């Protein structure tokens, strides 16, 4: 896939004064479903990015994450395709950096996880960082939605050293850490309350919130959870109609 070399720096306009890094995304934002397209924003009336989706026929990508709220006038930040029509593995491309990586699905009897790798800046060189989306109902997810039924996902950096805090059971571990002591760098919560358009909420955490992991990673994190949401939503609709 991607060779780890120096990539060009892309400049994107920040949607708010608070967003100085992470490719211009704010630390926390919502996903709104308007049928023809999805929109990302801190408020429904003020979207800062948009997402188009397709069935995947005719070579079109499953998802396109755009750099602004208007799909016609904004450039693609990321595209998501599948390896084949029935494949569970997705291919995410970030054109501004020449990056193409797999979003790998790992299924078990109880749940599914999704993993990806992305080049991270380390001084003057690029090193691969490895991350995994895990299903969660932990404090980090619950903090995004007050509904006690809220479910979601946590993005964990699985390589490198532990974050230095205490792991263990949910009742005893430090907030922002997994049971195995790994750092949670982003979370997603499905919307647990009735809403016509709002379907979920995203938040950067830890090193993911400081901008330390970089724009490439931020775009990959968002594109990957959008794809996971799309797959999960399609499965829910299929199950309800069967």
Convert the pLDDT of each residue in 161-220 to its tens digit.
555 555 455 555 566 788 888 999 999 999 977 788 999 999 999 999 999 999 999 999
- For the chain, which residues make up each domain, given as ranges? 22-241
Taking the C-alpha atoms of residue 28 and residue 142, their distance in angstroms, rounded to an integer, is 14
Point out which residues pair with 82 in neighbouring strands. Answer: 90
What sign for the dihedral angle of Cα 225, 221, 189, 154? Answer: positive
Contact 65, 77 (CB under 8 A): yes
pLDDT of residue 126: 87
Residue 19: is its pLDDT beyond 70?
no
SS3 content of the chain, % helix, strand, coil (to 5): 20, 35, 45
Alpha helix ranges (H) inside the chain:
139-142, 207-210, 214-241
Question: What does pLDDT average to over the chain?
Answer: 84
Residue 60: is its pLDDT beyond 90?
no
Catalogue the E-assigned strands of 83-213: 90-94, 99-107, 112-122, 125-136, 152-157, 184-190, 198-204
pLDDT of residue 165: 52
Residue 230: is its pLDDT beyond 80?
yes
pLDDT of residue 170: 55
Pick 146 or 206 by higher pLDDT: 206
Residue with tokens 């995947």: 56
Pick 1 or 226 by higher pLDDT: 226
Q: Is the pTM of this model over 0.75?
A: yes
Taking the C-alpha atoms of residue 151 and residue 179, their distance in angstroms, rounded to an integer, is 17
Residue 115: is its pLDDT beyond 60?
yes
């Amino acid at each position: 896939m991607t060779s780890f070399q120096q990539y060009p720096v892309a400049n994107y306009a920040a949607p708010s004064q608070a967003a100085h890094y992470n490719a211009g995304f704010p630390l926390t934002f919502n996903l709104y479903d308007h049928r023809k397209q999805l929109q990302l924003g801190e408020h429904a009336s003020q979207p800062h990015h948009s997402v188009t989706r397709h069935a995947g026929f005719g070579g079109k990508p499953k998802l396109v994450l755009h750099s602004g709220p208007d799909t016609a006038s904004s450039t693609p930040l990321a595209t998501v395709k599948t390896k084949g029509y029935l494949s569970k593995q997705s291919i995410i491309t970030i054109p501004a950096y020449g990056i193409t990586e797999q979003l790998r699905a790992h299924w078990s009897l109880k749940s599914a996880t999704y993993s990806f790798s992305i080049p991270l800046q380390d001084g003057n060189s690029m090193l691969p960082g490895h991350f995994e989306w895990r299903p969660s109902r932990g404090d980090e997810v619950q903090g995004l939605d007050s509904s006690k039924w809220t479910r979601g996902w946590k993005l964990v950096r699985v390589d490198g050293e532990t974050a230095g805090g205490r792991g263990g059971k949910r009742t005893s571990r430090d907030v922002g850490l997994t049971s195995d002591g790994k750092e949670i760098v982003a979370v997603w919560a499905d919307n647990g309350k009735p809403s016509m358009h709002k379907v979920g909420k995203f938040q950067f955490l830890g090193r993911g919130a400081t901008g330390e992991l970089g724009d490439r990673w931020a775009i990959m994190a968002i594109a990957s959870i959008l794809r996971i949401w799309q797959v999960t939503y399609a499965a829910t609709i299929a199950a309800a109609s069967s």
